[in-house]
Structure 1
Amino acid sequence: MKHPLVRIIDDDADARSSTSFFLSVMGWEIKEYESAVHFLETDDLSRPGCLVLDVRMPEMTGMELQVKLNQKDCRLPIIFLSGHGDLDMAVHALKRGASDFLEKTSKPERLQAAVCKAVKESVALTESIESREKLKSVFESLTPREKEVALRVAKGELNKIIAYDLGISERTVKMHRSNVCAKLNVASAVELAAFLNELQVSYE
């Protein structure tokens, strides 16, 4: 997994530099963007971390960027920084999934805590996605017949029933079952069912 990155997006160079300096001192890897447009054009959205995002910017506001990222199904947590206390704006941002909404005058400790929380969530989500992708890759390595047998084994069907339904010998079913267990690193029908549930593969 890629190392987490904290993106700071603010058209105010002084504010951007100040936030960047504080968070880098706190140990975070930082990348600065002077606009939401520049961020969208150049950032690696697959890298975990978070956004520390100014609300009011030219070209594209922070709120508009949030909508764009939601449309892209980007799961990077967003921490809004506002120089203008606006409760209604904060409510809308949080309803659309923002991780936090802070005023720029908030104590630095609040920003540090918000970044810690957001990055932790992002890393956990990325690990979960990568783990599922690995499991999916392993499942796709099965032959069509092995997949067929796997789904029936997960349902709890007996070897002789599987053999009868598929028109093959029980010995062949046992061979496919053994191959499935070895490839997926499972030892029982229960573990196989759990594996398929993790991938959200229907076997009922």
Structure 2
Amino acid sequence: MPQVTPVVYVVDDDVSIRESLELMIATAGWQPHAFASAQEFLSYSRISIPSCLILDVNLPDLNGLELQKRIAADDAGIPIIFLTGYGDVPMTVKAMKAGAIEFLMKPFSDDVLLGVIQQAIQGSQAALDQAAELRALRERYASLSPREREVMALVVSGLLNKQVGGELGISEITVKAHRGQVMRKMQAGSLADLVNMSARLRSPPAPMD
């Protein structure tokens, strides 16, 4: 797979700040995409690659905190770094509780911001990797027959093959055959692997930091 250059989105209505951030981001080796308003950002079609969002709190149409709420539901929680010249403690607390990774006051140190961007990109990459792994796991589970899913559920609950057979009204030999198919299709190297996979399939998506 070719190396993908992470994207750093910038939403700030101050053109001088947008331009300086674009230059800094490009110099650091990332792709900058800058927008003057929240609506411009929302209208842009983003692709699923490592990314983060540098977001000004005070915007002319939809403010930064409202934009944070808007994208949280449908963007897998893209990491957000807030910038503001008028921040206060309640605003900072609200942004951080909603999942922002940092809240920086203007003027800020380039080195500090670059460090936070690096952290955000790493978090985004990890989240995308986890999402890809879970999609692959769900695809493998979808390949199981209804009977294989029944056997898997009973096996991961701790039942022995004989007990699984008793629950399903099938022979122990048949259970072993189904169990072997489950292990193969799920690409599980051990019962512990299968138990872990079952737990991941049942768990809700984890929120992004």
Q: Aligned equivalents of 1:71 and 1:177: distance in 2?
A: 38
> Secondary structure of 2:114's match?
helix
Q: Which residue number corresponds to residue 164 of structure 1?
A: 166
What is the Cα deviation at residue 87 of structure 1? 3.4
Q: Deviations over 1:41-85 (max 9, x none)?
A: 113264431101111111111121112123446411111111234
* Aligned position for 1:97: 99
d(CA) in 2 for partners of 1:92, 1:45:
28
CA distance in 2 between partners of 1:45 and 1:99 (Å):
21
1:11 match: 13
Letter paired with 1:199? L
- Stretches of structure 1 lacking an aligned partner (at least 5 in a row): none
Moved more, 190-199 or 52-61: 190-199
| Partner secondary structure for residue 60 of structure 1 | coil
- Distance in 1 (CA, whole Å) between partners of 2:23 and 2:123 is 23
Q: In structure 2, do the counterparts of structure 1 residues 157 and 3 end up closer, same or farther at CA, with 3 Å as the change threshold? A: farther
Measured against aligned partners, the alpha-carbon deviations of 1:160-181 in whole angstroms (never above 9, x if no partner) come to: 2222221222222111111111
State whether residues 45 and 76 of structure 1, in contact with CA within 8 Å, keep that contact through their aligned partners in structure 2.
no
In structure 1, what is the equivalent of residue 54 of structure 2?
A: 52
Q: Compute the displacement of 1:110 (Å).
A: 0.9
Alpha-carbon distance in structure 2 between the residues aligned to 1:141 and 1:51: 37
Given that 1:79 and 1:102 are in contact with CA atoms closer than 8 Å, whether structure 2 keeps it comes out as: yes
Code of the aligned partner of 2:161: N
TM-score, length basis structure 1: 0.90
CA contact (8 A) 2:72 2:78 kept: no
1:198 corresponds to: 200
CA contact (8 A) 1:45 1:74 kept: no
1:8-65 Cα offsets, whole Å, 9 max, x none, are 1112222101111011101111111121101111132644311011111111111211
State the TM-score, normalized to the length of structure 2: 0.88
In structure 2, do the counterparts of structure 1 residues 108 and 179 end up closer, same or farther at CA, with 3 Å as the change threshold?
A: same
Question: Partner letter of residue 81 of structure 1?
Answer: L
Letter in 1 for 2:8: V
Distance (whole Å) between structure 1 residues aligned to residue 190 and residue 92 of structure 2: 50
1:51 aligned counterpart, secondary structure: strand
TM-superposed CA distance for 1:200, in Å, is 2.5
CA gap of 1:84–1:149, structure 2 versus 1, over 3 A, is: same
